[in-house]
Amino acid sequence: ETGVTQSPTHLIKTRGQQVTLRCSSQSGHNTVSWYQQALGQGPQFIFQYYREEENGRGNFPPRFSGLQFPNYSSELNVNALELDDSALYLCASSLPGAMNTEAFFGQGTRLTVV
Amino acid sequence: RKEVEQDPGPFNVPEGATVAFNCTYSNSASQSFFWYRQDCRKEPKLLMSVYSSGNEDGRFTAQLNRASQYISLLIRDSKLSDSATYLCVVNSDTDKLIFGTGTRLQVFP
């Protein structure tokens, strides 16, 4: 157990709908990163939050947005869902700025868009 | 060109075999390197960090060649429990993790 928890574990949504995924980071970790992992692919970086501010973003459109709260938990919001958004969404928490630090992943939320 | 490239496999090897995975990365400014292991339908977990001098953890040996931008993982005496996907990961100069597509390993009895 890493101490990083995500909810829900599974979700089915219809194309065009909006979804919010949640993540609680490991105790003491104030940096949270979100990744999208499509079937057969490695995780792709969406964005990172540090002290409630976005701290880097990958190649994802603006309909992917996020928040980080004072307790360092985080949300990923996706608007106008598309079929290609079906994937495993992973949250990882880590210590900030330490390039060699380990990232601890939650078990992920498996999103299916129909 | 992908930032981190791996052979997707699968590698099917018998118990006791030695298997090697390779990975190349494109950003010469990358600072940190890792191998993560991911079991089917589970989250990735850190297997080991990779250092320039090479490092070993039991049956696992990781090597880094900065000049060639090449990372390797060697698994000796393969066990059934080693069956998983092995992800090559590079920490970019903007402190985000860049993952390869992963190499699938299946160890059979």
pLDDT digits (tens, 9 = 90+) for A22-62: 999 888 888 899 999 999 899 999 999 988 999 889 999 99
Q: What percent of chain B has pLDDT over 90?
A: 77
Q: Which residue of B has its CA nearest to A38?
A: B101
pLDDT at B54 over 90: no
Residues of chain A found within 8 Å of residue B100, distances taken between Cβ atoms: 42
Token pair of A105 as six digits = 């992943």
In the prediction, which pLDDT does B26 show?
A: 93
**How close does chain A come to B72, measured CA to CA in Å?**
17
From the list A45, A97, A106, which residue is nearest B43 (CB)?
Answer: A106
Q: How confident is residue A1, by pLDDT bands cut at 50, 70 and 90? A: low
Average pLDDT, chain B: 92
In the prediction, which pLDDT does B93 show?
A: 67
pLDDT at A76 over 80: yes
Mean pLDDT score, B25-47: 92
Per the CB < 8 A criterion, the answer to whether B70 and B22 are in contact is yes
Residues of chain A found within 8 Å of residue B4, distances taken between Cβ atoms: 42
How far apart are alpha carbons B5 and B90 in whole angstroms? 11
How far apart are alpha carbons A80 and A95 in whole angstroms? 32
- The residue of A4, A36, A94, A100 whose CB has the most chain B CBs within 10 angstroms, and thus the best one to mutate to test that interface, is A100
**How close does chain B come to A62, measured CA to CA in Å?**
19
pLDDT at B6 over 80: yes
- The residue of A4, A6, A41, A54 whose CB has the most chain B CBs within 10 angstroms, and thus the best one to mutate to test that interface, is A41
